[in-house]
Amino acid sequence: MSAKLTAPAPERNKQPILEVLERVLPASGMVLEIASGTGQHVVHFAKALRHLTWQPSDPDARARSSISAWTAEKALGNVREPLDLDVRCQPWPVASCDALVCINMIHISPWSATQALFEGAARILPEGGVIYLYGPYRVNGRDTSESNAAFDATLRAQDPEWGVRDLERVVDTADSCGFDFVESVAMPANNLSVMWRRRPGST
């Protein structure tokens, strides 16, 4: 049986996400993807953005096998072998990168993972380095749609530490780690693309 996994959500959102990444990622360097999942995203991005080196990662061994299978099938030379990386286990097995991408992770993990994400990114990103997050958010203390409210309830029923995050709380956490909020972009299915840059002089 093939190790390659396929999920419907990445197929739906990979192109809208790519259209944002094309605008915000650097002209060269390495992009670390956190919680790469099946690998559908990274191969789509790497094929379109061949000037960048992509470093996928996931703490789940089955996901890492799927990422490797997708990369081999697409014969992409700018995608490295996936790393076993849990954001809460620091230091990460990456010394440096030029940008960080994380899709649909922070709402299906404890809040401590969001904090660790920015803390880890602060150790490896240079000044001006980009963080890109994608997923559902509450904005100004409110759900942005009825479907997001229902999704939040479902997540919290699965695990009380999970849930759709308040954008303002995420922005505050990023700020405390030396990242300036750049913008949020409305995406399909009531999701947001949210970007930060590493603040000059932050340590």
pLDDT band at 64 (very low <50, low <70, confident <90, very high): very high
What residue numbers bound the domain in which 125 lies? 8-198
Q: What are phi and psi of 161, to 5 degrees?
A: -85, -10
Closest among 112, 100, 104 to 196, alpha carbons compared: 100
pTM of the predicted model over 0.95: yes
The 10 Å Cβ neighbour count of residue 188 is: 10
User: 2 in a domain, yes or no?
Assistant: no
For the chain, percent of residues with pLDDT exceeding 70: 99
User: 61 in a domain, yes or no?
Assistant: yes
The tens digit of pLDDT for each residue in 106-136 reads: 999 999 999 999 999 999 999 999 999 999 9
Is 142 in contact with 114 (CB distance < 8 Å)? no
Give me the number of domains the chain comprises.
1
Any idea what the CATH number is for the domain that residue 124 is in? Answer: 3.40.50.150
Separation between Cα atoms, residue 56 and residue 45, nearest integer Å: 11
User: 117 in a domain, yes or no?
Assistant: yes
Q: How many CA atoms lie within 13 A of 184 on its CB side?
A: 15
User: 3 in a domain, yes or no?
Assistant: no
The tens digit of pLDDT for each residue in 176-186 reads: 999 999 999 99
